[in-house]
């Protein structure tokens, strides 16, 4: 056997040994689990809530009005709420601002301003139903569009404008987002059923199954 062949086989054995060693290390390496989300704050008077106070199931959603996935789940949550007497739904703002949703905060301001006149859920519905209309507008045009929605809802426009721009409303939205971040939320929508985070179900039936099981 010549020198070149000996060197080749030595190199081959070394490389093979390194590969086997790497596989052994990888197989024995502890598996890192995704961090679990924390438990959301208790529902309070300033939350946006619908459904029976004593409902056995509370669904808390951290959401962004400009988020396409949130719009998709909006219709699912509407179905769940319409078909169940055991469900209380809570909406909390988690705007992904400034990117990827630059109009998300002002949309939340519009909803909160409407909420100060008892029309949060009506504005909530208009924002999601018409998301494609305002999502790509400039900030100024989106604000004008939201004002049109406020007019449609027969709100006191002077009060709406004041509340829309108020530091109290802006602070409430920021506090909601900060709380969500403290739970480990990184995207929207994020749902909690009776305080436990769930993996977003793919459609109405899987989601209803979760709600029904939690109600037992």
CB 106 within 8 A of CB 139: yes
**Quick one: 115 and 211 in the same domain?**
yes
Residue 19 has pLDDT above 60, yes or no: no
Tokens of 132: 């494609």
Q: Are residues 108 and 161 in the same domain?
A: yes
| pLDDT the model gives residue 32 | 29
Tell me whether residue 139 is exposed, middle or buried, using C-beta atoms within 10 angstroms of its C-beta: 0 to 12, 13 to 18, 19 or more: exposed
Write the burial class of residue 175 (CB in 10 Å: 0-12 exposed, 13-18 middle, 19+ buried): middle
The answer on 20 and 63 residing in a single domain is: no
Residue 12 has pLDDT above 80, yes or no: no
Assess whether 18 and 65 both reside in one domain: no
Residue 38 lies in a domain: no
Reduce the DSSP state of residue 198 to 3 states and report it.
Answer: strand
- When pLDDT is cut at 50, 70 and 90, the band that residue 10 belongs to is low
What is the domain-level CATH number for residue 178?
3.40.30.10
Instruction: Let me know if residue 73 belongs to a domain.
Output: yes
- Res 118: pLDDT: 98
Q: Let me know if residue 174 belongs to a domain.
A: yes
Statement to judge: residues 135 and 173 lie in one domain: yes
Residue 40 within a domain = no
Q: Does the pLDDT at position 64 exceed 90?
A: yes
Which domain does 123 fall in, by range? 48-215
Do residues 28 and 78 share a domain? no
Angle at 135 between CA 127 and CA 189, to 5 degrees: 65
pLDDT tier, 30 (very low <50, low <70, confident <90, very high otherwise): very low
Domain count, the chain: 2
CA nearest 191: which of 69, 109, 101, 107? 69
Please tell me whether residues 56 and 18 are part of one structural domain. no
Tokens of 123: 């504005």
Whether 26 maps to a domain, the answer reads: yes
* pTM for the whole structure: 0.83
Mean predicted confidence (pLDDT) in 34-56: 91
Q: Is residue 57 part of a domain?
A: yes
| Tens-digit pLDDT profile for residues 91-137 | 999 999 999 999 999 999 999 999 999 999 999 999 999 999 999 99
pLDDT at 8: 52
In a domain? residue 42 = no
Name residues whose C-beta falls within 8 Å of residue 50's C-beta, 6 or more positions apart in sequence: 81, 88, 89, 121
Q: Kindly state whether residues 174 and 91 are assigned to the same domain.
A: yes
Instruction: Please check whether residues 3 and 101 belong to one and the same domain.
Output: no
Q: Residue 39: inside a domain, yes or no?
A: no
**In the chain, at which residue ranges do the beta strands (DSSP E only) sit?**
48-50, 57-63, 87-93, 190-193, 196-198
**For helices 120-129 and 139-152, what crossing angle results, to 10°?**
130
Which residue, among 194, 203, 185, has the nearest Cα to 87 in the 3D structure?
A: 194
Task: Compute the distance between CA of residue 57 and CA of residue 116 in angstroms, rounded to an integer.
Answer: 26
**CA nearest neighbour of 65 among 141, 157, 127:** 127
Based on the domain organization, do 119 and 176 belong to the same domain?
yes
* b/e map 102-125, b = 16+ CB within 10 Å: bbbbbbbbbbbbbbbbebbbbbbb
The verdict on 19 and 60 lying in the same domain is: no
Q: Are residues 19 and 92 in the same domain?
A: no
């Amino acid at each position: 056997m010549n020198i070149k062949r000996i060197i080749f086989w030595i190199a081959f054995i070394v490389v093979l040994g390194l590969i086997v060693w790497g596989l052994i290390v990888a197989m024995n390496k502890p598996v890192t689990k995704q961090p679990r989300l924390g438990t959301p704050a208790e529902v309070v008077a300033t939350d946006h809530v619908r459904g029976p106070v004593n409902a056995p199931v509370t669904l808390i959603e951290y959401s962004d009005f400009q988020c396409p996935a949130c719009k998709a789940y909006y219709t699912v949550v509407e179905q769940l709420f319409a078909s169940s007497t055991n469900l209380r739904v809570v909406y909390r703002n988690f705007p992904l601002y400034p990117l990827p949703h630059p109009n998300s905060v002002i949309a939340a301001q519009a909803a909160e301003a409407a909420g100060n006149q008892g029309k949060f859920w009506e504005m909530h519905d208009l924002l999601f139903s018409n998301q494609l209309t305002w999502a790509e507008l400039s900030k100024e045009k989106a604000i004008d569009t939201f004002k049109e929605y406020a007019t449609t809802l027969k709100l006191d426009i002077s009060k709406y404008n004041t509340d829309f721009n108020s530091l109290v409303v802006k602070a409430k939205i920021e506090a909601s987002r900060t709380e969500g971040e403290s739970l480990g939320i990184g995207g929207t929508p994020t749902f909690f059923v009776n305080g436990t985070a769930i993996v977003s179900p793919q459609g109405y039936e899987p989601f209803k199954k979760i709600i029904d099981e939690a109600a037992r």
